[in-house]
Amino acid sequence: MDKDRIYLSLSKESGFEQEYIQKALNSNWITSGGPNVNEFENELQSYFGKESYVAALNSGTSAIHLALILSGVKDGDEVICQSMTFSASANPILYQNAIPVFVDSEHETWNICPENLEIAIKDRILKGKKPKAIIAVHLYGTPYKVDEVHAIAEKYEIPIIEDSAEALGSRYRGKKCGDFGTFGIISFNGNKIITTSSGGVLIVNSREEKEKAIFYATQSKDKAVHYQHSELGYNYRMSNICAGIGLGQLKILEENILARRSNHLFYKEIFKGIKNAKLFDNVNEDFFSNYWLNTIVLETKVERENLRIAFENANIESRPLWKPMHLQPLFEKYPYYGNKVAENLFQKGLCLPSGSNLTNKDKIRIKEVIHNFFI
């Protein structure tokens, strides 16, 4: 294969990262926590507004785990989780020895279905346990039905952990994703909208919760001159080097969102005339996606697989949509509420290359594969 591989989603350097990394090296802050970490948190706090407090961690997964701990989730508790997502949304439920209860998606946003969510909550209460938390996901950058989902959570007084790993820069009714829940999380893994190489943040609503999150993330050290521990701790704090990369990356956040949204327009133009594939689009103006990934739904699984292979033959990466958690060997024994919305999407759906760094040349190659396949 002579042509360079086109990936689904790659990070892009801003050029400012090196300066922050060098500062960390020069000042000997080559550890977890430190000035870059504080500055990174402050910048994100001003991005989200004054009611938001941000704790920088070593991954989005750690952020979800700490959100569960702060929600008081313990052994044997039940936690509701959107089934159609990446396993990192659900794994931390098992870290707590808690029980995941999976809920299907709805057709418009592909995220947690409000009707099935309420059915699940009522049934779990009837069976003797009120769920301790709800994990809702803004999949591929598209906000879930925030008003409906949060109204249900409020009615039953259950905290929401908003998995905004893929949705930095997305908005619902003008308000930024990551900032709706009792807890919000964002990932800065290498494939996300911006990266710290590996990292994440937990967004909370008070200084006390932020301090508690950092306490757990730094081995739960009690106030004492010696090492004293009365609670279980974790090594989850973001490193000062990673935060330096994050500070450099924040400078191109808006640029990356624009690039991803322009990828969406590129695909919109291509799929306009193709009947056998439907490009995912936001239903109305309440939903503003960063279009982290562009996705299509084909008519059959066979067709989806054939298109995926056609891309592969051109050295272009594409992938089926997330396989729902209730179908995963690890999770299939846990309760599930829904129909077959997520299952159907998984069968027929495909993620398309959507990186912030897609070039015009890349786009020509992608377009050629699609045209040859459909026309």
Ligand X SMILES: *Cc1c(COP(=O)(O)O)cnc(C)c1O
Q: Tell me whether residue 87 or residue 306 sits nearer to ligand X (CB atom).
A: 87
Decide if residue 137 touches ligand X (CB under 6 A): yes
Q: How far is the CB of 362 from ligand X (least distance, A)?
A: 23
| CB of 128 vs ligand X, minimal distance in Å | 29
The footprint of ligand X on this chain (CB under 6 A) covers a number of residues equal to: 14
Which CB atom, from 41 or from 271, has the smaller least distance to ligand X? 41
φ/ψ of 182, rounded to 5, equals -65, -40
Minimum Å distance from CB 17 to ligand X? 18
CB 198 within 8 A of CB 190: yes
Task: Kindly state the smallest distance separating residue 103's Cβ from ligand X, in Å.
Answer: 15
Restricting to residues 160-179, name those near ligand X by CB under 6 A.
163, 165-166
DSSP 4: P
Binding flag, residue 106, ligand X (CB under 6 A):
no
CA distance 269 to 257: 19
Residue 126: Cβ-neighbour burial (10 angstroms; 0-12, 13-18, 19+): exposed
CA distances from 322 to 80, 87, 257, 289, 372 (A): 18, 9, 22, 18, 26
Q: How far is the CB of 155 from ligand X (least distance, A)?
A: 25
Alpha helix (H) ranges present in 1-113? 17-26, 35-48, 60-70, 91-95
End-to-end CA distance of the chain: 24
List % helix, strand, coil for the chain (3-state, nearest 5).
40, 15, 45
86 vs 180 by CB, closer to ligand X:
86
**50: annotated active-site residue:** no
Q: Which of 176, 192, 212, 348 is catalytic?
A: 192
Give the nearer residue to ligand X in terms of CB position, either 60 or 178: 60
Distance in angstroms (rounded) separating the CA atoms of residues 366 and 360: 10
Q: Give the contact letters, 173-212, x = binds to ligand X (CB under 6 A), - = no.
A: --------------x-x----------x------------
> Between residues 60 and 169, which has the closer beta carbon with respect to ligand X?
60
Do 168 and 186 meet the contact criterion of CB atoms below 8 Å apart?
Answer: yes
Residue among 99, 84, 176 at smallest CA distance from 137: 84
Amino acid identity for residue 263 in this structure: N
Pairing of strands 183-187, 336-337: unpaired
The answer to whether 161 and 185 have CB atoms below 8 angstroms apart is: yes
365, containing H or E segment = helix 360-374
Q: What's the closest the beta carbon of residue 190 comes to ligand X, in angstroms?
A: 9
Instruction: Give the contact letters, 50-89, x = binds to ligand X (CB under 6 A), - = no.
Output: ---------xxx-----------------------xx-xx
Pick the closer one to ligand X by CB: 83 or 85.
85
Catalytically active residues, by annotation: 192
Which residues are at the interface with ligand X (CB under 6 A)? 59-61, 85-86, 88-89, 137, 163, 165-166, 187, 189, 200
